[in-house]
Chain A
């Protein structure tokens, strides 16, 4: 399979590989996909008091496109607010990496992973009743389905 140069670069030099403490209250974690379908992505974010993603890490089991997509996603998430991060679309990732049609599912999976990590963080916040990060359960900017 022929990969574009950006996809190859992310595969060969993946950004933000690693793990954050999933038990920490300011960390959101997602694990999406399954080994049976050949792709598993874990994305973790650390969110500061202003609701900005300070750090993002990933680990991915999957094809070159899946690795490149998750690497790119962590790069794009860092420095964004949660709402901004939710705007990252699979098509943006697929276009940026010039993914071939049969690899579009990798970018769909990474969009799922982004949303799930943010959801996990918000659920944690809601559960601990913390409202000092501007993202309490009452906060109007949180869509109800995420809680």
Chain B
């Protein structure tokens, strides 16, 4: 028997790796110094620890340690990158390009700039969730200062062609920011190969602590400057003031080092588990649809829609499996996921989608258990569903006259 509940929501957050915690612990107690204290050994010790972590983090993404700016997480990194660039380069232009399936931290930062007079282009995605590099290029104007596109989507795991887009942007004098929160540590990431100037990522998505993130800011060809979004002691080359979260940064560094060492093997393992989960479910159930790109996808990502069942009752039946649903029904609004809508997924199927996020601590046995559980619950709910029966009787559910009184 497997131990329940089973955690399969690793897009949301990940459990901390015990190896990460071990390295962090001394920095809460014995080595508590402020990394900015220059006059005593407590400060030097903290500064040295931050220096090592910075090198480890930079190594994972092919950057140099001086290009890493520590923040409180990817949301802050996105805000700093987008608003910081917009303010700094406003005289050059007021046009920003992004994609409709971005994380809210990016979308809402752009919306905030729109209220200040910036022009935002919201690019669509295809049915597979991919943005078309041609669309990006065609959207460029002489007023464009920034393009911001995520590496991998948090709901469907689809990986955008960032390197291709980076190449297309090269000679346009436009800055390129990438929210790589879901991709870093899961797939190989190199800032030069991707051609990005700014990149956001976070520790807690890669088995590190919460409350600790980073923004990569290119220093050479070109050297990017940002207007800081917080005033204070001028830490992090003046880009982000505030005493450094030394234990968090130490953990972030160790988490990146482990990811770098295990990236290839772990990627293969998770792809195997994910495909096993997918196959196991679709071999026994009909009318199950994959959301997102079939191959250009993060190793642990699987987003499925189940026709003729309802999302919340599906989640209820899977109460011992921690996954997330594309339906926000439980939060009082009946709005389905904006990401799935952007893919053209019908409202009915968007409501019945489940996002499985496999991670480092998931096992083959857990996958077997979840496969069986999903099959049981979907079959039970389909037996319960009048829609399945009506569809089989030949009733066209699209033209049927529904009563909407409730």
Residues of A within 8 A of B317 (CB): 11
A17, B384: Cβ atoms closer than 8 Å: yes
Assess whether B406 is interfacial by the CB under 8 Å rule.
yes
Residue of chain B at shortest CB distance from A107: B406
* Separation of A116 and B403 alpha carbons in the complex (Å): 11
Q: Please report which residues of chain A, range 14-68, place their CB below 8 angstroms from some CB of chain B when the two chains form the complex.
A: 14, 17, 19, 31-42, 59-64, 66-67
- Identify which of A32, A59, A60, A102 contacts B403 (C-beta below 8 A): A32
Q: Say whether, besides A31-B386, A35-B387, A61-B385, A112 and B310 are in contact (CB < 8 Å).
A: no
Total A-B residue contacts, Cβ distance less than 8 Å: 90
Interface of A is mostly: mixed
Kindly provide the distance from the CB of A46 to the nearest chain B CB, expressed in whole angstroms. 17
- Identify which of A32, A62, A108, A109 contacts B313 (C-beta below 8 A): A62
B406, A63: Cβ atoms closer than 8 Å: no
B389, A34: Cβ atoms closer than 8 Å: no
A38, B329: Cβ atoms closer than 8 Å: yes
Q: Say whether, besides A35-B402, A102-B332, A112-B406, A40 and B347 are in contact (CB < 8 Å).
A: no
Interface string of B248-266 (1 = CB under 8 A from A): 0000000000000000000
Residues of A within 8 A of B332 (CB): 102
- Identify which of B310, B389, B390 contacts A62 (C-beta below 8 A): B310
Residues of B within 8 A of A33 (CB): 402-404, 406
Assess whether B399 is interfacial by the CB under 8 Å rule.
no
* Separation of A39 and B405 alpha carbons in the complex (Å): 12
A61, B406: Cβ atoms closer than 8 Å: no
Assess whether A76 is interfacial by the CB under 8 Å rule.
no
B384, A35: Cβ atoms closer than 8 Å: no
Q: Please report which residues of chain B, range 307-357, place their CB below 8 angstroms from some CB of chain A when the two chains form the complex.
A: 308-313, 316-317, 327, 329-330, 332, 334, 347-348, 351
Kindly provide the distance from the CB of A116 to the nearest chain B CB, expressed in whole angstroms. 8
Kindly provide the distance from the CB of A15 to the nearest chain B CB, expressed in whole angstroms. 12
Residue in A19, A40, A112 with the greatest tally of chain B CB atoms within 10 Å: A40
B313, A11: Cβ atoms closer than 8 Å: yes
A41, B386: Cβ atoms closer than 8 Å: yes
Q: Say whether, besides A41-B386, A59-B384, A61-B309, A36 and B403 are in contact (CB < 8 Å).
A: no
Assess whether B383 is interfacial by the CB under 8 Å rule.
yes
Assess whether B88 is interfacial by the CB under 8 Å rule.
no
Q: Say whether, besides A32-B406, A34-B404, A35-B348, A61 and B383 are in contact (CB < 8 Å).
A: no
B316, A61: Cβ atoms closer than 8 Å: no
Assess whether B397 is interfacial by the CB under 8 Å rule.
yes
Residue of chain B at shortest CB distance from A41: B386
Assess whether A105 is interfacial by the CB under 8 Å rule.
yes
The 5 closest A-B pairs by CB, nearest first: A34-B402, A42-B386, A109-B406, A63-B312, A59-B386
Q: List 29 A-B residue pairs with CB atoms under 8 Å apart, sorted by A's residue number.
A: A1-B330, A11-B317, A17-B383, A31-B403, A32-B403, A32-B405, A32-B406, A35-B348, A35-B397, A36-B348, A36-B402, A36-B404, A37-B404, A39-B406, A40-B385, A40-B386, A42-B386, A59-B384, A59-B389, A60-B386, A61-B381, A61-B385, A63-B313, A64-B312, A64-B316, A66-B310, A67-B384, A105-B406, A112-B403
Q: A1-B316, A42-B389, A60-B386 are in contact. List 7 more A-B contacts (CB 8 A).
A: A14-B384, A38-B334, A40-B386, A59-B386, A60-B384, A112-B403, A112-B406
